[in-house]
């Protein structure tokens, strides 16, 4: 049966294949656990999480129930925090958290610290590594020796319920987490939240030689964790709790009104789409807390000048929010264009950089650093988050932290730069099935994508079902591919309405309209550029197609990471490559091989994957120079402005095109000839008419 026809009838797909077998639907289905890296972990069942009863010992692979026992699942494409994705939660627990005093207060629960060995075991099982970074460690000269990096053992966060008992987070925030269905932290949350919310003992800093207990040390954090592993929540919980603490403190001081008009935290993200998504996530978490979250919009101002105050001493025209989320460009422009002399935002206590490697890439670096420099508060905590942070970006981040502190004369005593890594650094998500497919030519790629759209011998779990994303190298290629595929979806399945193109040349309104329609499931195939490759969380996306190869391995990691979110299995990442791509494709093959090794597939041939050992060996290595050029310009034959026809997106072959051009030329010539002869005839007629002289009265 045509999958499109099936989907138009509604989203209530039966989980049975044609032969009547029960099948696991791809990543649109609910995740068993958001923890994707753990081995031999005790995974509490949902009931056990909320009722505190049954526990089950299992491994990540053994958590899978046998196929026959998987209950039929209803794909709920793109649902965001709706019932299909949210585990069953205990209403009593919500009530306890939201209505203090009505029953036992969870904050009364005492937290028992684990021994260092127990902590080490948990961290090892979850593949979490915490390091005190070189820049600070070497300065401290531990035991008189210059140390490169020091490994720390923090107290991990094992469940969200302990956020109240351990860190005394607000009842509202804890209640919102329960209501949104968050019970079990993902690996990055398990490792990073205690570092940001806790004290030196939680961070493991107290075990450092020469450590002096001066209360809570100041930490800045670099965090590297796989795509879809919940980094957003890992930075939002500590920031929101920090804002609530400072709101509570300032409400008792005289400056309360003025202080409350100031923004205290900034989150930077590279695209509007990602910034909007973080705004939405934050708003859900701050509900009922009294905190205000704002996304940066045109015409907003953030700096406070005395002139801005009206007669009542209130501040007009200034965005009144505790947390501001923006792209670097929008915010840097606002700061630069402000009329006040200082152009600093001293009220900022938290600066979060999501997709930090892009924000510190030359493309955005100037704006990002300008914003950072404007944050002059000595207590500023800065954190960097991404699935890929290379060594050069790590070093740059440390350098910038240290230089800023020196310039502002902030003492470095008790200041630490920490790094948390979940899983294998800079690698592609292992629960996704990665396929590298040779398509030979552009024509081959078109045929391949058409086959993906209309698969023959369709089988659940093997073919890529809509909804999915298709990535191209440039805007013009995205547009060309869209026009080419526009009528490929059968009319009964919604036809051309089901396929759309999204890129940065579209207006903001058009972009957000397409995003909404894709999230709602109205659009099934979204053709885009790298604009959507980072951070965007479409829960129900079944896979991605790299129509054009990504130009860096990091880009591959992020594009592939749009599927397999929060532990959802069954996602597919297909990369089509042509003969032009062969010199560059080894990068991607290496990332895939590393990811499959993480997933325990020792030999991909054995595992039946599409990346056999011989291919990996046969592909040429990519030189550093080529990598650089590729990053800058992409595959040059596909770059904007390249005139060659061999890489044009079109079903027609060059020969066919030539024939058509010839025919067109001949038709035009014959039309011209006809026109000329008609004109001539007309002239002749006019001539004869003039000779005739017309009728006389």
Give the interface with ligand ATP as residue ranges (CB under 6 A). 34, 182, 184-186, 189, 225, 227-233, 387, 535, 537, 539, 561, 565-566
Closer CB to ligand ATP, residue 36 or residue 217?
36
Tell me how far apart the alpha carbons of residues 204 and 153 are, in angstroms, rounded to a whole number: 5
State phi, psi for 155 to the nearest 5 degrees.
Answer: -85, 110
What are the angstrom distances between the C-alpha of 640 and each of 444, 472, 473, 474, 479?
Answer: 21, 12, 9, 7, 12
Closer CB to ligand ATP, residue 225 or residue 545?
225
To ligand ATP, the closest distance from the beta carbon of 184 in angstroms equals: 6
Cβ–Cβ contacts within 10 Å for residue 407, how many? 10
CA-CA-CA-CA torsion sign (306, 310, 315, 319)? negative
To ligand ATP, the closest distance from the beta carbon of 540 in angstroms equals: 10
Closer CB to ligand ATP, residue 88 or residue 408?
88
To ligand ATP, the closest distance from the beta carbon of 388 in angstroms equals: 9
Closer CB to ligand ATP, residue 36 or residue 155?
36
At which residue do the structure tokens 């035009």 appear?
Answer: 668
Tell me how far apart the alpha carbons of residues 500 and 525 are, in angstroms, rounded to a whole number: 6
Q: E strands of 179-243, at which residues?
A: 218-224
To ligand ATP, the closest distance from the beta carbon of 536 in angstroms equals: 7
Helix ranges, 129-181 (H): 134-140, 162-167, 171-179
To ligand ATP, the closest distance from the beta carbon of 15 in angstroms equals: 22
DSSP helix/strand/coil, 678: helix
To ligand ATP, the closest distance from the beta carbon of 242 in angstroms equals: 18
To ligand ATP, the closest distance from the beta carbon of 86 in angstroms equals: 9
Closer CB to ligand ATP, residue 186 or residue 578?
186
To ligand ATP, the closest distance from the beta carbon of 563 in angstroms equals: 10
Tell me how far apart the alpha carbons of residues 496 and 494 are, in angstroms, rounded to a whole number: 7
Cβ–Cβ contacts within 10 Å for residue 346, how many? 14
The single-letter DSSP state of residue 298 is T
Q: Please list the residues that pair with 318 across neighbouring strands.
A: 301
Closer CB to ligand ATP, residue 228 or residue 295?
228
DSSP helix/strand/coil, 525: strand
To ligand ATP, the closest distance from the beta carbon of 532 in angstroms equals: 11
Taking CB atoms, the residue at the shortest distance from ligand ATP is: 230
Closer CB to ligand ATP, residue 81 or residue 490?
81
Give CA torsion, residues 196, 200, 203, 204, to 10 deg: 170
Tell me how far apart the alpha carbons of residues 470 and 479 are, in angstroms, rounded to a whole number: 12
DSSP helix/strand/coil, 459: coil
Furthest CA-CA distance within the chain: 123
Closer CB to ligand ATP, residue 170 or residue 186?
186
Structure tokens at 327: 């792209």
To ligand ATP, the closest distance from the beta carbon of 71 in angstroms equals: 19
Closer CB to ligand ATP, residue 158 or residue 637?
158
Structure tokens at 65: 């129930």
Tell me how far apart the alpha carbons of residues 530 and 429 are, in angstroms, rounded to a whole number: 18
Tell me how far apart the alpha carbons of residues 452 and 470 are, in angstroms, rounded to a whole number: 11
Tell me how far apart the alpha carbons of residues 111 and 26 are, in angstroms, rounded to a whole number: 39
Tell me how far apart the alpha carbons of residues 301 and 318 are, in angstroms, rounded to a whole number: 5
To ligand ATP, the closest distance from the beta carbon of 175 in angstroms equals: 16
Closer CB to ligand ATP, residue 46 or residue 107?
46
Closer CB to ligand ATP, residue 128 or residue 374?
128
Closer CB to ligand ATP, residue 129 or residue 247?
129
Pairing of strands 499-502, 293-295: unpaired
Reduce the secondary structure of 611-629 to three states and give it as a string: CCHHHHHHCCCCCHHHHHH
To ligand ATP, the closest distance from the beta carbon of 636 in angstroms equals: 29
């Amino acid at each position: 049966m045509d999958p499109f026809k099936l989907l138009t009838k509604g989203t209530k797909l039966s989980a049975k294949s044609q032969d009547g077998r029960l099948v696991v639907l791809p990543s649109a289905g609910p995740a068993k656990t958001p923890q994707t890296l753990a081995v031999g972990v005790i995974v509490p069942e949902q009931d056990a999480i909320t009722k505190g009863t049954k526990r089950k010992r299992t491994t990540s692979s053994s958590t899978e129930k046998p196929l026959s026992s998987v209950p039929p699942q209803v794909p709920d494409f793109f649902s965001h925090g709706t019932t299909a994705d949210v585990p069953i939660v205990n209403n009593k627990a919500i009530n306890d958290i939201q209505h203090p005093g009505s029953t036992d207060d969870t904050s009364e629960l005492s937290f028992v610290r684990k021994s260092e060995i127990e902590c080490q075991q948990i961290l090892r099982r979850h593949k979490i590594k915490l390091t005190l970074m070189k820049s600070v460690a070497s300065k401290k000269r531990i035991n008189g020796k210059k140390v490169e990096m020091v490994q720390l053992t923090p107290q991990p966060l094992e469940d969200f319920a302990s956020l109240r008992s351990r860190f005394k987070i607000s009842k509202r925030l804890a209640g919102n987490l329960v209501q949104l269905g968050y019970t079990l932290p993902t690996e990055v949350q398990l490792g990073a939240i205690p570092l940001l919310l806790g004290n030196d003992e939680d961070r493991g800093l107290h075990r450092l030689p020469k450590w002096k207990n001066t209360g809570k040390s100041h930490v800045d954090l670099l965090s590297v964790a796989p795509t879809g592993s919940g980094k957003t929540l890992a930075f939002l919980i500590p920031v929101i709790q920090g804002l609530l603490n400072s709101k509570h403190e300032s409400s008792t001081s005289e400056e309360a009104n003025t202080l409350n008009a100031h923004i205290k935290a900034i989150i930077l993200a590279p695209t509007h789409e990602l910034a909007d998504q973080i705004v939405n996530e934050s708003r859900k978490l701050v509900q009922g807390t009294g905190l205000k979250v704002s996304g940066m919009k045109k015409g907003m101002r953030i700096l406070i000048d005395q002139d801005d105050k009206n007669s009542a001493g209130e501040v007009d025209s200034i965005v009144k929010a505790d947390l501001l989320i923006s792209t670097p460009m929008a915010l840097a422009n606002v700061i630069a264009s402000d009329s006040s002399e200082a152009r600093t935002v001293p009220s900022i206590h938290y600066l979060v950089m999501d997709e930090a490697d892009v924000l510190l890439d030359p493309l955005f670096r100037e704006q990002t650093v300008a914003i950072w420099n404007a944050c002059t508060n000595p207590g500023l905590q800065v954190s960097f988050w991404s699935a890929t942070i290379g060594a050069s970006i790590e070093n740059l981040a440390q350098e910038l932290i240290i230089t800023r502190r020196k310039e502002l004369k902030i003492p470095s005593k008790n200041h630490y730069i920490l790094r948390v890594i979940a899983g294998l650094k800079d690698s592609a998500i292992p629960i996704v099935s990665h396929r590298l497919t040779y398509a030979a030519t552009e024509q081959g790629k078109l045929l391949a994508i058409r086959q993906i759209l209309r698969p023959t011998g369709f089988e659940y779990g093997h073919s890529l079902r809509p909804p999915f994303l298709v990535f191209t190298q440039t805007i013009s290629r995205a547009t060309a591919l869209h026009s080419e595929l526009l009528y490929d979806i059968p009319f009964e399945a919604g036809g051309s309405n089901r396929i759309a193109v999204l890129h940065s040349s579209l207006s903001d309104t058009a972009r957000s309209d397409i995003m909404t329609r894709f999230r709602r499931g109205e659009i099934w195939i979204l053709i885009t550029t790298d604009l959507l490759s980072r951070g965007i969380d479409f829960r129900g996306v079944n896979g991605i197609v790299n129509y054009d190869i990504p130009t860096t391995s990091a880009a591959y990691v992020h594009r592939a990471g749009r599927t397999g979110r929060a532990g959802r299995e069954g996602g597919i990442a297909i990369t089509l490559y042509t003969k032009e791509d062969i010199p560059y494709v080894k990068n991607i093959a290496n990332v895939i091989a590393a990811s499959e090794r993480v997933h325990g597939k020792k030999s991909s041939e054995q595992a039946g994957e599409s990346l056999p050992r011989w291919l990996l060996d046969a592909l040429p290595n990519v030189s550093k120079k080529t990598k650089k050029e590729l990053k800058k310009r992409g595959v040059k034959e596909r770059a904007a402005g390249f005139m060659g026809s061999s890489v044009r997106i079109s079903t027609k072959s060059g020969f066919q095109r030539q024939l058509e051009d010839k025919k067109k030329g001949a038709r035009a010539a014959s039309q011209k000839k006809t026109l000329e002869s008609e004109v001539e005839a007309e002239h002749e007629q006019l001539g004869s008419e003039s000779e005739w002289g017309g009728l006389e009265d």
